[in-house]
Amino acid sequence: MKLVTDNLTFKPEKEYFLNKVSLEFEAGKLYTLLGRTLSGKTSLLKTIAGLQPIDTGNIIFEGKDFSTIPVWKRNVAMVYQQFINYPHLNVFDNIAFPLKQRKMKTSDIENEVSVAIHKVGLLGFEKRKIQELSGGQQQRVALARSLVKKAKILLLDEPLVNLDYKLREDLRNEFKNIFTSDLSANSILLYASTDPLEAMQLNGDIIVLDEGEILQSGTAKDVFENPTNIKVSEITNDPAMNILKGSIDSNKIILNENVQFKIPKHVKNIQAGTYHFGIRASDMILDDKGFDFNIDISEISGSETFLHLHQNELNIVLLIEEVKNFNENDKVKINFNLDKLYVFDGKGDLLFSPFKMN
């Protein structure tokens, strides 16, 4: 069973929402649509669900043209950013609603709802009104209602984006377990996110979108380790990968007159010239034998510290995996893990990756 989008284009005004999007989704797999706001993620989900038109292209599911199938017959379930529930119904009846619409037997409805409630961790909340629930609990209700439909295509449009950080973290882990256990050979799951960490933790296939176009697709591991270009490297990292313009001359990498180092082993037979060098914030360290940098901003986030640094025109972000206090304009010495260095050409395309030997 496959879902195929063939050359989907949607351009309602001056900008593309979707631009020649061709993809294949296989049953039994989880796919994460990763991209910034307005990258085309929601447009693609709505198009599949039949909630948004297209200018050109086709959607084929199980060998049939989806455009000939009414929205209500598409066997698609969708969970949105907002907690869309029925406020006049309790938790049980919210989840049971699509089953009652199908006129299922009461005993079957009770069984299906009970299983879904257990999966999403709402046991004991069956009689609660929606207004009595937290944001996270309301989103669980919306997810459970989608699960009981047993739709062949399940679409989730940034379902955790409106929750606080801690709750997002907890639910993300729970969602992953739910998806792993609930995905059958007869269902396809598409999950849209702006958060690269979320995409990596879900560990399905990743499709990176930007301005309605597909930039790269593949396993989470491969996309993270081998971004095809600078834009993908920025979208798949938080903070974005440091991209530093420099040159190669006399077997050295030169970022400026003060920051120069040997060419690492995985960068082979590279010619002298100007390049873009990429390094993640976590692949640099404080080192008394390193290069001098000035602190612009010190930012503590949870158990981590981010330092925004500069040396002349060279600007970088460094991640320290502990809480440390620094002051603006403090001086620090840092060093680069050159075994994790990326090299991109002048157009921004990947030339050398530490994970892919050339």
Q: Is the pLDDT of residue 212 over 80?
A: yes
- Asked if residues 288 and 301 have their Cβ atoms less than 8 Å apart, the reply is no
Q: pLDDT tens for residues 292-336?
A: 999 999 999 888 999 999 999 999 999 999 999 999 999 999 999
Angle at which helices 91-101 and 135-148 pack, to 10 degrees?
20
Domains in the chain, ordered, with CATH? 2-228 (3.40.50.300), 242-352 (2.40.50.140)
Residue 183 has pLDDT above 70, yes or no: no
Task: Give residue-wise pLDDT tens across range 127-154.
Answer: 999 999 988 888 889 888 988 888 889 9
- The mean-pLDDT minimum among 135-149, 244-258, 343-357 falls in 135-149
**Rounded Cα–Cα distance for residues 319 and 29 (Å):** 33
Predicted confidence (pLDDT) at residue 39 exceeds the cutoff of 90: yes
Which has the closest alpha carbon to 84: 152, 7, 140, 4? 140
Residue range 226-251: average pLDDT?
95
Buried b (16+ CB within 10 A) or exposed e, 61-97: beeeebeeeeeeebebbbbbbebebeeeebbbbbbbb
Name the band, by pLDDT with cuts 50, 70 and 90, for residue 159. confident
User: Is the pLDDT reported for residue 73 higher than 90?
Assistant: no
Residue 181 half-sphere exposure toward CB, CA atoms < 13 A: 12
Q: Is the pLDDT of residue 200 over 70?
A: yes
Length in residues, the chain: 358
Q: Say if residues 295 and 307 touch (Cβ distance below 8 Å).
A: yes
What CA–CA distance (Å, rounded) separates 76 from 71?
8
Main-chain dihedrals φ then ψ at residue 324, nearest 5 degrees: -135, 145
CA torsion angle 19 68 62 57 (round to 10): -20
User: Structure tokens of 34?
Assistant: 């990763």
Burial class (CB in 10 A: 0-12, 13-18, 19+), 302: exposed
Max avg pLDDT among 138-142, 166-170, 197-201, 257-261: 257-261
pTM to 2 decimal places: 0.90
The pLDDT of residue 173 is 74
CA quadruple 213, 216, 220, 223: dihedral sign: negative
**For residue 80, which of 243, 226, 192, 247 has the smallest C-alpha distance?**
192
pLDDT band at 81 (very low <50, low <70, confident <90, very high): confident
CB 285 within 8 A of CB 338: no
- Average pLDDT over all residues of the chain: 91
pLDDT grade for 67, boundaries at 50, 70 and 90: confident
Report the distance separating Cα 66 and Cα 47, nearest Å: 10
Is the pLDDT reported for residue 109 higher than 80?
yes
pLDDT at 89: 93
Residue type for 250, please?
S
pLDDT band at 180 (very low <50, low <70, confident <90, very high): low
Rounded to 10 degrees, what is the CA torsion of 126, 30, 3, 140?
A: 20
